[in-house]
Amino acid sequence: MKPQHYKTVVIGGGIVGAGIFRDLALHGVDTLLIEKKDFSSQTSERSSKMLHGGIRYLENLDFALVFEALHEKNLWLKLTPHLAQEVPFYLPVFKDAKRPLWMIRLGMFLYDFLSSFENSPHQIKSAQDVHALIPDLKTSGLAGAGVYYDGIMDDAKITLEVIYDALKENCAHAMTYTEVTTVTKVHDKNIIHCKNVLTGKVFTVTCDQVVYALGPFTDRFLNSIPMYNWQNVLLPSKGSHLWISNKDLPLKYPIVITTNDDRVIFVIPHGDQILVGTTEVAFNGDYFDVKPSEAEIDYLLSALNDYFPKLGLSHNHILSSFAGIRPLVKENGDGNRGKTSREHKIFQPMSDTYVIAGGKYTTFRVMGQDITREICHKFGRSYNQDISKQILRQRSVLLPFDWKVPTKEELIRICETEGPQTFLDLVVRRLSIPSRKIWELRAAGVDFNQYFMTNLNDLKKYLVISEEDIKNFI
């Protein structure tokens, strides 16, 4: 990081900020990305980890969004095959269902059509086929299943690789653990007041253009800056997930569960674990400290037990859990979070200030393009909307679908090339280990404490890490 003037500062290092940062960098715009914690440590590592068109948004007639998301999904499946995979999603249909099989078939045809038939084609399976493939699924009233194709991904790692790619350009700079405390203006310069949250050091940088990509933090931050006269735009929606071992919930392919209150829950295998989620509830607490409530955990377990009654799943089967806040943009309606559109919106409280809110992980590349186009033109550069379709130039050292216990050399290489600053950055996002129980499941026999204690002195050269951090990792 150089304390200086930048043409553009992007605040927020989740997937949306990362995408805007990369697009500006690929167009040669001198840009600084500032993130309060680690890159991708908030909403962008707490998604349902699907690259998807959003089949359920067809019911809301959100065809434009589904079309865009399907094309982006299929693009990123090609660009990051080491971080994302196409898989069949099984949607079981029961005889008393609100949506019978013919309706599911029609919806899935429309889904494939909107992908310009780039999706692997949907299928309809008989009850016998479904039972043979998913023997633990309840059979009473089972009519069959629709099968459609979407992607599963490592959300944190895609964000990280988008940022690594931007940093290949000389005009791109990025800082983690740097909180923007406020923004002021002197004449036409924006003064970004920063605080390094690890050292406490405060400093400022200046810039011509500011982009806020703060996800759910948008309203709270912008309300703290009087010159913007900000009116709240978000309808924050908390969503929680559980990780369960494949041994306790044996599944080969993702299942889509429809709940009694007509919501959808995804049950998705990721290697030896199953991801179960999500909920959709209001939340007013600290957005940097979001956890699933007991009620949400019970809700997810109850939906699982309804579909898999033989398995008797309980709290004891949970390996780990996490929650995040969807940064939905408010609409004039009844405030139903499930029905609120996943479209993004761009606001401009000042001519040199852009705020982006809403959207989905899957559509991150196209979300900020109206902003990046305008900024490029302001700096006299022509804009190429396809430049961000080129492949990412730096792969993560450790890949999510090919997990193994990293060697000491790999740990050092991660520290030298992937920018972790704390122990959690290394373990949670660079090694994709969200809990000690998941380490035990994957690393079979390799003691977590001993492994990191053995490597402690080497890691101390790069990271804020202590024996306590290792002991306290749950």
Interface ranges with ligand FAD (CB under 6 A): 11-17, 34-37, 41-44, 46-50, 52, 179-180, 213-217, 221, 239, 278, 324-327, 359-362
Contact 206, 5 (CB under 8 A): yes
Residue 77 — φ and ψ, nearest 5°? -65, -35
Strand partners, 203: 194
Q: 166 vs 459, which CB is nearer to ligand FAD? A: 166
| Minimum separation from the CB atom of position 102 to ligand FAD (A) | 27
- Kindly tell me which of 90 and 361 has the beta carbon lying closer to ligand FAD: 361
50: helix, strand or coil: strand
To ligand FAD, the closest distance from the beta carbon of 355 in angstroms equals: 11
Question: Of 5 and 345, which CB lies nearer to ligand FAD in the complex structure?
Answer: 345
Reference 397, options 12, 83, 42; nearest CA is 83
410-424 exposure pattern, b = at least 16 Cβ within 10 A, e = fewer: ebbebbeebbbbbbb
CB of 210 to ligand FAD, least distance (A): 12
Q: Left, alpha or beta for 187 (phi > 0: left; psi -120 to 50: alpha)? A: left
CB atoms within 10 A of CB 307: 20
Per-residue DSSP letters for 443-460? HTT--HHHHHHHTHHHHH
- 104-124: b (≥16 Cβ within 10 Å) or e: bbebbeebbebbeeebbebee
In whole angstroms, the minimum distance from the beta carbon of 242 to ligand FAD comes to 12
Tokens of 401: 């679908």
Give the list of residues 6+ apart from residue 350 with CB closer than 8 angstroms, or none.
227, 228
Tell me whether residue 48 or residue 74 sits nearer to ligand FAD (CB atom). 48
CB of 237 to ligand FAD, least distance (A): 7
Least separation in angstroms between CB 80 and ligand FAD: 14
- What does each C-alpha distance from 251 to 33, 267, 440 come to in angstroms? 40, 9, 20
For ligand FAD, which is the closer residue by CB, 197 or 453? Answer: 197
Q: Which C-beta is closer to ligand FAD: that of 125 or that of 342?
A: 342
Q: How far is the CB of 217 from ligand FAD (least distance, A)?
A: 4
Q: How far, in Å, CA of 35 to CA of 41, rounded?
A: 10
Nearer to ligand FAD, 12 or 92 (CB): 12
**In the complex, what is the shortest distance from the CB of residue 122 to ligand FAD, in angstroms, rounded to a whole number?**
19
Which burial class, exposed, middle or buried, applies to 254 when counting CB atoms under 10 A from its CB (0-12, 13-18, 19+)?
Answer: buried
Smallest gap from Cβ 448 to ligand FAD, in A, equals 26
Q: In terms of CB distance, is 37 or 71 closer to ligand FAD?
A: 37
Residue 16 or 470: which CB sits closer to ligand FAD? 16
Tell me how far, at minimum, the Cβ of 342 lies from ligand FAD, in Å. 7
> Locate tokens 């089967």: which residue?
317
Residue with smaller CB distance to ligand FAD, 36 or 125: 36
Q: How far apart are CA 341 and CA 108, in angstroms?
A: 20
Give me the sign of the Cα torsion angle 370, 373, 377, 382: negative
